Amino acid sequence: MITDIRGEQMGRITVDIVLADNREVVKAALEDRIPESVKHLTVQGLVDTGATRLVLPQRTVDELNLQQAGDVSVRDADNRRETRPRVTNVWLSLCGREGVFSATVEPNREDALIGAIVLEELDPIVDCPTESVHPRDPDMIVTEIE
């Protein structure tokens, strides 16, 4: 279990997310195929409000045949700098909301890491006391326009 700065236990919030190659999602729509015909994976994702990006296991990237789009420099928790592959066109569904993201690929990860970019775009509430994630607005409104 992880502890906060006061030494109190904190939970790890994990959620199921659905991933697909957005190129295949678009292709299916153009061909009037149902979205379910696109290869997709449901994977566990660790919600980390302190992380920035979406990070995917290499195994998931390989299964979905996601295209590499260069490399990105990363800094590990112990301050080491390394280079990791970056993929694009990652279609992601969380709490009934969908978006398309780029992701850093981590060869030794078992689960996905869901950072602030995904959380800001899809606008869920991360409820730490109940260790749950749910839509901020039940009507799925994510933007207010004045």
Q: Residue 100: which of 110, 87, 113, 112 has the closest Cα?
A: 87
User: How many domains, the chain?
Assistant: 1
Question: How many other C-beta atoms are found inside a 10 Å radius of the C-beta of residue 122?
Answer: 23
Which residues, in sequence order, are CB contacts of 135 under 8 Å at separation 6+? 95, 96, 97, 123, 124, 125
- Residue-level pLDDT at 61: 98
| SS3 (DSSP) at 63 | helix
- Domain CATH number, residue 28: 2.40.70.10
**Would you say residue 134 lies in a domain?**
no
**Would you say residue 78 lies in a domain?**
yes
**Would you say residue 59 lies in a domain?**
yes
State the pLDDT confidence band at 1, using cuts at 50, 70 and 90.
very low
- pLDDT one-digit tens code per residue, 75-90: 887 899 999 999 999 9
Question: How many other C-beta atoms are found inside a 10 Å radius of the C-beta of residue 70?
Answer: 10
Specify the pTM.
0.84
**Would you say residue 73 lies in a domain?**
yes
**Would you say residue 72 lies in a domain?**
yes
Segments forming the whole domain that contains residue 32: 16-124
Q: Residue 120: which of 61, 41, 53 has the closest Cα?
A: 53
